[in-house]
Amino acid sequence: MEARTKMLVLLLFLSPMIGELLSGSAPPLEFFSPLTVLVFLMLYGCGTLLIREARVRWGLQWSVVFLSAAYGIIEEGLCVKSFFNPGWVDMGALSAYGMFLGVQWPWTISLIVYHGIMSTLVPILIVDMLFPQNADRPLVGRKGIVIALLCITFLTVWGMTYFGTVIGGVMVPFNAHPALMIGGLASVLALIWLAHRFRRSRIASSSHIVSPWVFGVFGGDFMFANLLIPDTMARMGIDSSIAILSQLVLIGLAALFVKSQLLNERATKRHTAGLVTGIILMFVLLTPIMELNGGRHMVLTGAVTLLLLIAWRRNVLNNNVLL
């Protein structure tokens, strides 16, 4: 099998496996249903593929984050509409928390960050670092891009009409106000435009660079805080404006870290591997808690993920190019 074909297959599956399976949102018995896998491939896989193709073809550096944020809005805002639906199955304490102009802002911010990193950027990094010789080469042609666009568009439109609130084991569709859906679509288009507008923009920091293990600690702590801050504040009854401010500060700190460290001229693949390792390892460590909360076989999922993570690091850091 050609290297780029391997990259394509791995990317299509890795995106939903990290975004849904490892997070516990879709435990193994649910995830590996043929229909579920197909839906995830068409949504997560095709969305991530399109982001990578845009990064390569447009020559994006930091501005790829605009595309990852756009994907988060497509999935959670337009497809499942969890940004607007207090009855969405995963809301918990965040149901209607920080609701303003029809948007649950703490949840919205957290999920855009989560999907932007876990569902798109991390899978792309993992695959490109495994195949460094093809990291800046397209994986599909124009026909492949069209197919991916059709898949994610079809799933998004289907989700708009189907997803809603589960009542008595039955999914009751939730119809968000048209203005919210139009606003979500406009946000996606604006983010895509920004990514293209800043396609030639480059950041190359020359500040002091920290060790790779600090990258790992920062990555894991950031993802943990992104999920913990809004949920904890909602449970404690803290005013939602404080939660939103805390989230924005956290994002600001992450942006500073990316600018000064990840985009540092002295950053090596060991630093990037450390960041990816820290992010993935954080979720691996949470799998026992997921199992206790009803996520069957999540400990097994975490164990397998840990073994694959170790193998990935060994290949990447030892320059074992996969052909």
Question: What are the pLDDT digits (tens) for 140-181?
Answer: 999 999 999 999 999 999 999 999 998 888 899 999 999 999
Ranges assigned E (strand) in the chain: 99-100, 103-104, 164-167, 170-173
**Averaged pLDDT for residues 299-320:** 93
Burial of 248 (C-beta count, 10 Å sphere; 0-12/13-18/19+): exposed
Structural tokens at position 286: 């949470």
Q: What is the mean pLDDT of the chain?
A: 95
**239: burial class by Cβ within 10 Å (0-12, 13-18, 19+)?**
exposed
Q: What is the pLDDT of residue 320?
A: 58
- Looking at the predicted structure, is the pLDDT value of residue 19 above 60? yes
* pLDDT of 323 higher than 80: no
pLDDT in tens, 108-128: 999 999 999 999 999 999 999
What mean pLDDT do residues 36-60 have?
A: 97
Each residue of 217-254: pLDDT tens digit? 999 999 999 999 999 999 999 999 999 999 999 999 99
The per-residue pLDDT for 168 is: 86
Does residue 27 register a pLDDT over 70?
Answer: yes
Percent of the chain with pLDDT over 90: 92
Cα 70-52-29 angle, rounded to 5 deg: 75
One-letter amino acid for residue 298 of the chain: M
